[in-house]
Structure 1
Amino acid sequence: MESEPPPHPGGPTLAHLLALAGPGLLDVVAAPLGTDVPVADVAVHDVGEDRDDDWAAPGHVLLTLGTSADSPKAVDVLRAADRAGASAVVLRSGPRRQRAALVEAAARGRTALLLRAPDTDWTEVLGRLRTALAHSVAPAAAGVEGLRLGDLAGLANTVAGLVGGAITIEDPRSRVLAYSRLEHAADPLRMLTILGQEVPRWRVAELRERGFFQALWSSDDVVRLAADDRYAERLAIAVRHGGEVLGSIWAAADGRPLAEDAATALRSAARAAVPHLVHHEARGREEAGRRERAVRVLLEGRPGAQEAARGLGVAADRPYTVLVAEAHDTRRPGDTGPPGLAAPSAAPGTDTTEHRVLDMLDLQAAACLPGCVTARSGSRLYVLIPAGGAEADPVRRMVAAVRSVPYSVVLAGVGQQAADLSELAASRESAELVVRVLRERATTAPTRPLASASAVYRDVVSEAALLRLLDSVEPTWQAMSGPVHAMVAHDREHGSAYGESVAAYLDAFGDTRAAALRLNVHPNTLRYRLRRARDLFGVDMGDPVSRLLAGLGLRLARRGG
């Protein structure tokens, strides 16, 4: 990508995109109309979505994440894309011997068929194609030609010369991506922003309250922030690629008034910045993807752990402990997924509550746990902590730091210590068990407010052992029938509370008054329910075996709602 072709004069074509994206990324299997076909956009195609007959994607390059070339759905996906007017479809590579029907279908249509190289992933393909497209459609801007793609510092310095002031390039979360050289003494706010690598939170809140960001993100033009007794005048403009906001460019008076045509220069710079910011974002995603894959190799105990450890700076012969932090948005119930490494729930950079919380946890981990290595997966942050640094206090500080984020809850678990790389998978599993214990505590105590919590494995050994036991017993239990099954089914069908009453009685160790108080009913009401549970279903609290089965069965029933 160091010596990429210039933007295509007649608009981007598939051939030009492939040349810009670099060799070896995609294999052109079939191109009935050739590769000199126009490209309007690069998009992810969700094969699982129901499409209307009038679904259209004219000129799109569609990345079909869920389909490989050997999938039975591949031909249908290709035909649907052809009907929608797509320029190309990208599939995951499959066995060559099974491609004949797919190639034949492609030859009868208009849409080119491309296969993703086996040693690349979708994040890299999407990033490089989007960068190529942005570079192809970006109009030339006077004064900023010749910059290496992704050279944001060079862009900031060049634009500073055009506007006659200081330039800061920020992402949509007001984090600094680049800034121009300091020619004069910067005002205090600019110094704070540069030193902290982000606009101070109090300043962001102030501008949001004044409606400045709403004006900035909803406009294609320059937005002016007048000078006051504290800070110099500022101009800002959003950088957009299609409907996506990539960031913003800010110009501040730097010891002298801004140039008369500063607004015009900023408009031109915003257009020229598109391929640079897309390239920056794509490279960031690729790096995050590589890092996540390396951490997965370590935490899942897969082959290649030694190489992954070297790439992450993890000492192979040093003890580590795994911390798992799980973020939740309490406004929107979500599926936390099965035990194990979580699947990504949103693209990197997505501005959700969970991702804002993970941003803060990542920073806190670096501050509280020296020498740690972090990586994200979905709504989880995985942290490899050198031996001796995974005590409860630093973890509590990490969790406490995110309490300022509204509607967020964090559950953090610290696993058992791993003596070497071969034991990291076991440490990760025990940390995830701790998170599951904390989650079960939250979901089985509806009278308590949902709150962030953390724990280390040694503090929840019994509950973790019970979870493992229930995991093993559950398939057998679900295939059975009996008194507890009948009671649970009756409660679900009729809205009765026999199971809840039995569970409260068991949790109170047979203390009827304590159990009734927890249920907020009279003790005689509870005694009546227990008698009815015995008479109707055979769940007898006077029988030790019945109590054991009821305890296990009701815990398993809570898992299924």
Structure 2
Amino acid sequence: MTEQPRAVLGRILNDLGSTLIEVVAGEADPSRAVTGVLIQDPLDEPARLPGAVVLGVGVYGSEPVAALIERAAGLGAAAVVVRSPVPVQGPVSEAAARTGLTVLGLTPGASWAQVAALLRSLLAVDELGTVGGPDDADGAEPLAGDLFALANATAGLLDGPVTVEDRGGRVLAFSSRQDEGDDARIATVLDRQVPAEKLRALEANGAFHALYRNEGPVFVEGISARPRVAIAVRAGGEILGSIWVVVDGPLSEDRTQSLHEAAKVAALHLLRHRTGEDVERRLRADLLATVLEGGTHAPQAAVRLGLAVQPACVLALAVTGEEPAPDRVAAGQRVAEALALHLSAIHPRTAVASLGGVTYAVLPTSSDEQALRVAEAFLCRVGARVPAVIGVGRLAARPAELRRSRADADRALRVLGSGRSPRRTARLSDVYAASLLEELTDLMAAEDDLPDGPVVRLRAYDAAHHTALTDTLEAWLSTFGDVIAASAAVHVHPNTFRYRLKRLAAVAGIDLGDPEARFEAMLQLRLRPPNP
């Protein structure tokens, strides 16, 4: 088997060029390997990722662009992308020549988020390579490259710009020459999504109904400035997506046949791509489980996940609440996908997988405080619609320490899920005492070793006589013996509260003046009583 292909700058320029980006300074080396995407932040030191494409969001003017080029070169970047028009004369061209870095201009109106998503999707599929199978040729090309190449080949055969879309109108690949289309097509490619008003117009026009009913191409006009020809991409009885071509009129017989053939090839790519995503997801979950469990294979798994070169923290996320198990599982899957997307925007080498009902993430970072802020920001974005909590592990300086970071995250997560803390995110150090109480409760339950003490006697007395002496004791201890504050907390008169104190002392056999007795009572009150 040959070595799996890697993304190169030339292929990115071919796939995204003419519509989204163009070379504005420096010499573009088509064979230069591209390994990831970094978004520049002047207030944060980015991770060193040799071969990355650096997105200069908000960088304008010759001096700031030149400074970005120098900074990116120091990180070993392959190229820099800044918003066009770019002032290429003077400092920019000099910095590009000095560093050998390629400077790309992003067309006005294009979304930085969509460009980042496009680049990352291309790189992700390249890293996956071909989806292995005994019948696959060793020299097969990467899936994303095949789909973009198919779009370009189809555009050449039909003499019009092409997009390959899923059933929701999301653009999966597109050809060059999109500038020859109309405004609606250009907006579709820039946003990687058919505009909502166009989708509604196509639905009202019956275009989708005709597209999904017919095996052959459908001619669509009156929706945009220029007509379209579309064909559904099918695999058996399942519709995977569609191919759309901007044309001047209905296709000839030869071009109709070419579009038929293109749809068959596209179906193979879409099926293999979907299979590849499932395979990659399972593979990354297995690798992450190996890293978190430790052992002899953990270092190699960390290298394969790209987690071996810098410190990291483990995050553990779970969905709480009273929802039925199927609803909770579905909510967990949605929030896990959202967490993976959120973390990928922060660092390109995060790893996320769901293991045993908990979603674990390894986040490269410089401190557990920073990891905690990331977790808080994510749950703030999620809001209250998903009752999720996140435990944060200690900083692991090397992969072998990630196992202990996971243990910390699990212990913090358990406290957050038990209701002992009102927080939604925490490190173990933030909830350490509550974690010890959880473990002590487990120990007592495992050994069936519930002590017979004052609190146990009070609870039994309350259950038999329908009194509230246990609440009285807890209020008194919680207010450091302040009868006025304690009586207000349980909504009784201070004299009544004093009488109850005397009564509970007699029933429980506790000396409230003894500090050791008070400590033991406070500890037992905070231990969860065993299930009946």
Q: TM-score, normalised by structure 2?
A: 0.54
Q: What residue in structure 1 maps to residue 125 of structure 2?
A: none
Q: What residue in structure 2 maps to residue 411 of structure 1?
A: 389
Aligned pair partner of 1:381 in 345, 360, 374 = 360
Cα 1:419/1:548, change in 2 over 3 Å:
same
Letter of the 1:354 counterpart: G
The answer (yes or no) to whether the contact 1:153–1:180 under 8 Å persists in 2 is yes
Letter of the 2:402 counterpart: L
SS of equivalent to 1:417: coil
The answer (yes or no) to whether the contact 1:368–1:398 under 8 Å persists in 2 is no
Q: What residue in structure 2 maps to residue 286 of structure 1?
A: 279
Cα 1:253/1:459, change in 2 over 3 Å:
same
Q: What residue in structure 2 maps to residue 254 of structure 1?
A: 246
How far does the alpha carbon of each residue in 1:507-548 deviate from its partner, in whole angstroms, 9 at most, with x for none? 333334444555566656665665565555556755545543
Cα 1:522/1:385, change in 2 over 3 Å:
farther
C-alpha distance in structure 1 between counterparts of 2:199 and 2:475, whole Å = 52
Structure showing greater Rg: 2
How far does the alpha carbon of each residue in 1:66-122 deviate from its partner, in whole angstroms, 9 at most, with x for none? xxxxxxxxxxxxxxxxxxxxxxxxxxxxxxxxxxxxxxxxxxxxxxxxxxxxxxxxx
The answer (yes or no) to whether the contact 2:391–2:409 under 8 Å persists in 1 is yes
Q: What residue in structure 1 maps to residue 378 of structure 2?
A: 398
Letter of the 2:393 counterpart: G
Matched, 1:422 2:400: yes
Matched, 1:364 2:360: no
C-alpha distance in structure 2 between counterparts of 1:363 and 1:166, whole Å = 28
Q: Which one has the bigger helix percentage?
A: 2
Letter of the 2:323 counterpart: R
Cα 1:312/1:191, change in 2 over 3 Å:
farther
* Identity in percent: 28
Q: What residue in structure 2 maps to residue 323 of structure 1?
A: 314
SS of equivalent to 2:177: coil
Deviation at 1:426, TM superposition (A): 1.2
SS of equivalent to 2:417: helix
Aligned pair partner of 1:475 in 436, 446, 466 = 446
Matched, 1:184 2:155: no
C-alpha distance in structure 2 between counterparts of 1:483 and 1:421, whole Å = 48
C-alpha distance in structure 2 between counterparts of 1:359 and 1:240, whole Å = 26
Letter of the 1:289 counterpart: R
SS of equivalent to 1:309: helix
C-alpha distance in structure 2 between counterparts of 1:270 and 1:492, whole Å = 73
C-alpha distance in structure 1 between counterparts of 2:526 and 2:400, whole Å = 33
SS of equivalent to 1:292: helix
Deviation at 1:414, TM superposition (A): 2.7
C-alpha distance in structure 2 between counterparts of 1:387 and 1:291, whole Å = 23
Deviation at 1:148, TM superposition (A): 10
Q: What residue in structure 1 maps to residue 38 of structure 2?
A: none
Deviation at 1:552, TM superposition (A): 3.2
Cα 1:402/1:418, change in 2 over 3 Å:
same
Cα 1:413/1:235, change in 2 over 3 Å:
farther
Deviation at 1:482, TM superposition (A): 4.7
How far does the alpha carbon of each residue in 1:306-357 deviate from its partner, in whole angstroms, 9 at most, with x for none? 21122112226x4x23231414275726599xxxxxxxx86xxxxx333332
Deviation at 1:495, TM superposition (A): 7.9
Deviation at 1:292, TM superposition (A): 1.7
CA RMSD across the alignment: 5.5
Aligned pair partner of 2:166 in 157, 170, 176 = 170
Q: What residue in structure 2 maps to residue 551 of structure 1?
A: 522
C-alpha distance in structure 1 between counterparts of 2:490 and 2:132, whole Å = 59
How far does the alpha carbon of each residue in 1:420-469 deviate from its partner, in whole angstroms, 9 at most, with x for none? 233221122112223233334xx247xx7xxx733344444444454445
Alignment of 1:80-95 (within 5 A): none
C-alpha distance in structure 1 between counterparts of 2:479 and 2:188, whole Å = 56
SS of equivalent to 1:412: strand
How far does the alpha carbon of each residue in 1:483-503 deviate from its partner, in whole angstroms, 9 at most, with x for none? 534555677799875545544
C-alpha distance in structure 1 between counterparts of 2:502 and 2:219, whole Å = 75
Alignment of 1:108-507 (within 5 A): 152-153=147-148, 166-170=162-166, 178-185=172-179, 194=189, 199=193, 221=213, 248-252=240-244, 254=246, 256=248, 276-315=269-308, 318=310, 320-328=311-319, 330=321, 332=323, 352-369=330-347, 371-377=349-355, 378-388=357-367, 391=370, 392-403=372-383, 407-440=385-418, 443-444=419-420, 453-476=424-447, 478-485=449-456, 487-488=458-459, 498-507=469-478
Letter of the 1:358 counterpart: A
The answer (yes or no) to whether the contact 1:153–1:179 under 8 Å persists in 2 is yes
C-alpha distance in structure 1 between counterparts of 2:160 and 2:222, whole Å = 16
SS of equivalent to 1:401: helix
Deviation at 1:304, TM superposition (A): 0.8
SS of equivalent to 1:418: coil
SS of equivalent to 2:241: strand
C-alpha distance in structure 1 between counterparts of 2:197 and 2:477, whole Å = 50
C-alpha distance in structure 2 between counterparts of 1:488 and 1:230, whole Å = 78
The answer (yes or no) to whether the contact 1:128–1:279 under 8 Å persists in 2 is no
The answer (yes or no) to whether the contact 2:437–2:527 under 8 Å persists in 1 is no
C-alpha distance in structure 2 between counterparts of 1:430 and 1:179, whole Å = 43
The answer (yes or no) to whether the contact 1:238–1:270 under 8 Å persists in 2 is yes
How far does the alpha carbon of each residue in 1:50-69 deviate from its partner, in whole angstroms, 9 at most, with x for none? xxxxxxxxxxxxxxxxxxxx
C-alpha distance in structure 1 between counterparts of 2:385 and 2:273, whole Å = 31
SS of equivalent to 2:382: coil
The answer (yes or no) to whether the contact 1:413–1:435 under 8 Å persists in 2 is yes
Letter of the 1:422 counterpart: A
SS of equivalent to 1:398: helix
Aligned residues: 389
Cα 1:236/1:275, change in 2 over 3 Å:
closer
Cα 1:331/1:476, change in 2 over 3 Å:
closer
Deviation at 1:398, TM superposition (A): 3.1
Deviation at 1:294, TM superposition (A): 1.6
Q: What residue in structure 2 maps to residue 28 of structure 1?
A: none
Deviation at 1:399, TM superposition (A): 3.1
Cα 1:147/1:296, change in 2 over 3 Å:
closer
The answer (yes or no) to whether the contact 1:331–1:407 under 8 Å persists in 2 is no
The answer (yes or no) to whether the contact 1:165–1:251 under 8 Å persists in 2 is no
Cα 1:533/1:356, change in 2 over 3 Å:
same
C-alpha distance in structure 2 between counterparts of 1:166 and 1:326, whole Å = 41
Cα 1:527/1:433, change in 2 over 3 Å:
farther
C-alpha distance in structure 2 between counterparts of 1:497 and 1:491, whole Å = 6
How far does the alpha carbon of each residue in 1:219-254 deviate from its partner, in whole angstroms, 9 at most, with x for none? 964899996679987979696888xx8x74245453
The answer (yes or no) to whether the contact 2:457–2:507 under 8 Å persists in 1 is no
Cα 1:494/1:507, change in 2 over 3 Å:
same
The answer (yes or no) to whether the contact 1:167–1:252 under 8 Å persists in 2 is yes
Unmatched segments (≥5 aa) in structure 1:
3-126, 133-145, 337-344, 347-351
Cα 1:267/1:228, change in 2 over 3 Å:
same
C-alpha distance in structure 2 between counterparts of 1:234 and 1:517, whole Å = 76
Cα 1:162/1:481, change in 2 over 3 Å:
farther
